[in-house]
Amino acid sequence: MLKVKYFGHSAFLLDNGKEKIIIDPFIPDKNLATEEDLKVNYIVLTHGHSDHFGNALELAKNNDATIISVYELANYCGSQDVKAHGMCVGGSHDFSFGKVKLTIAHHSSSHEGQYMGSAVGAIITIDSKNVYHCGDTGLFYDMKLIGELTPIDLMLVPIGDNYTMGVDDAAKAVEFCNPKAVIPMHYNTFPLINADSDLFADKVKKIGKKAIIVKPGETIEI
Ligand code: NI
Ligand code: MN
């Protein structure tokens, strides 16, 4: 079983009992992450914006963990004396826990005003489960292709609107990608991205798919 813990915003921890991978470690309520949670082996970053980058450098340093991200962002992290592995869209690579493949995401990416390459999504394969973290993105039709090439067990999709898809487009994204289950993310962190996750769940149910509303701090198993 793969444990998936949600920390709020776009931050998730994948734990197979042997290794821990944290994705976009911006954790709005620090109390929701235990000391054990933060003993991670890898950090996957979808882009450089502070609401995703979080304290990635500190996490990497504390654990001698490797940051996995797009090339430019990985180079920046490497220049800050942490281990980093750079990739680009469409590329996949095997790590000790499984595989990461980067996908497109329609968004921007910078860190402290510096250009950080493309924003991406990531398909993380661990314990024979494919988890697709969309990153920050608008809707795109190739989500259909992504789901066709890699059957997705769990899709993590932004619904907060303004910077990413809103509820309607996110439901369409689920229809395109056709995952076994979906968790909404990137909403209700601050007023500008408030969204109704129940409405999203309803829309997803109407197309015969399953949305799991996970509260920050909760863990599910897939
Ligand atoms: Ni962003
Ligand atoms: Mn964001």
Map out the domains of the chain as residue ranges: 3-221
106 CA from centroid of ligand 1 (Å): 10
Note the pLDDT of residue 126.
98
Bridge partners, 185 (sequence order): 158
Note the pLDDT of residue 119.
98
Note the pLDDT of residue 130.
98
Could you count the other beta carbons within 10 Å of the beta carbon of residue 50? 10
From CA 166, how far away is CA 138, in angstroms rounded?
A: 8
1 CA from centroid of ligand 1 (Å): 30
Note the pLDDT of residue 101.
98
Note the pLDDT of residue 219.
98
SS3 143: helix
**Residue segments in the chain with a per-residue pLDDT below the cut of 70:** none
Note the pLDDT of residue 168.
98
Note the pLDDT of residue 151.
98
Note the pLDDT of residue 39.
98
64 CA from centroid of ligand 1 (Å): 26
186 CA from centroid of ligand 2 (Å): 7
Return the CATH architecture of domain 3-221: 4-Layer Sandwich (3.60)
Please give all residues whose CB falls under 5 A of ion ligand 1, grouped by chain where several chains appear.
49, 136
